[in-house]
Amino acid sequence: MSKLTRRKFLRLAGVGLASGAGALGFSRSASAQSGAARIVVIGGGFGGATCANYLKRLDPGLSVTLVESSKRFVTCPFSNYVIADWRTISTITHNYAATQKHGVEVVQDTAIAIDAIARQVSLKSGKRLAYDRLVVSPGIDFKWGAIEGYDEAAAEVMPHAWKAGPQTLLLRKKILGMRNGDTFILVAPGNPFRCPPAPYERASVIAYYLKSYKPRSKILILDSKESFSEQALFMDGWDALYPGMIEWVSGARGGRVTSVNTKTMTVATEIEKYRGNAVNVIPPQMAGNIARDAGLVDETGWCPVDPRTFESKKHKGIHVIGDAANAAPMPKSGFVANSQAKIVASAITRELRGHAPFDGVYVNTCYSLLAPDYGISMANVYRTSADGIQEVSGAGGVSPREASAAFRAEEAKYAAGWYASIVADIWS
Ligand SMILES: Cc1cc2nc3c(=O)[nH]c(=O)nc-3n(C[C@H](O)[C@H](O)[C@H](O)COP(=O)(O)OP(=O)(O)OC[C@H]3O[C@@H](n4cnc5c(N)ncnc54)[C@H](O)[C@@H]3O)c2cc1C
Q: Which of 53, 69, 289, 418 to mutate to test the pocket of ligand 1 (most atoms within 8 A of CB)?
A: 69
CB distance 79 to ligand 1 below 6 Å: yes
Q: What confidence tier does 34 reach under pLDDT thresholds 50, 70, 90? A: low
| 165-191 average pLDDT score | 98
**C-alpha of residue 337 to centroid of ligand 1, in Å:** 8
**C-alpha of residue 293 to centroid of ligand 1, in Å:** 19
Nearest to 83 by CA among 143, 188, 134, 159: 159
CB distance 9 to ligand 1 below 6 Å: no
Which residues does 156 contact at the CB level (< 8 Å), separation at least 6?
170
Q: Would the pTM of this model clear 0.85, i.e. be above it? A: yes
pLDDT attached to residue 6 = 43
pLDDT attached to residue 9 = 42
Residue nearest to atom 22 of ligand 1 (CA): 334
- Does residue 16 register a pLDDT over 50? no
CB distance 39 to ligand 1 below 6 Å: no
CB distance 419 to ligand 1 below 6 Å: no
CB distance 200 to ligand 1 below 6 Å: no
Atom of ligand 1 nearest to the CA of 79: 1
- Does residue 175 register a pLDDT over 50? yes
- Does residue 20 register a pLDDT over 70? no
Atom of ligand 1 nearest to the CA of 336: 11
Instruction: Give the span between the Cα atoms of 305 and 345, in whole angstroms.
Output: 15
CB distance 290 to ligand 1 below 6 Å: yes
What is the per-residue pLDDT across 207-252, written as a single tens digit (0 to 9) for each? 999 999 999 999 999 999 999 999 999 999 999 999 999 999 999 9
What is the per-residue pLDDT across 348-365, written as a single tens digit (0 to 9) for each? 999 999 999 988 899 899
Which residues does 346 contact at the CB level (< 8 Å), separation at least 6?
24, 25, 26, 54, 58, 357, 358, 360
**C-alpha of residue 224 to centroid of ligand 1, in Å:** 22
CB neighbour class for 406 (10 Å; exposed up to 12, middle 13-18, buried from 19):
exposed
> What are the CA-CA distances from residue 289 to residues 130, 141, 159, 199, 423 (Å)?
20, 6, 20, 23, 25
Which residues does 157 contact at the CB level (< 8 Å), separation at least 6?
262, 265, 279
| 198-209 average pLDDT score | 98
Domains of the chain: 18-142+285-357 (3.50.50.60), 154-281 (3.50.50.60)
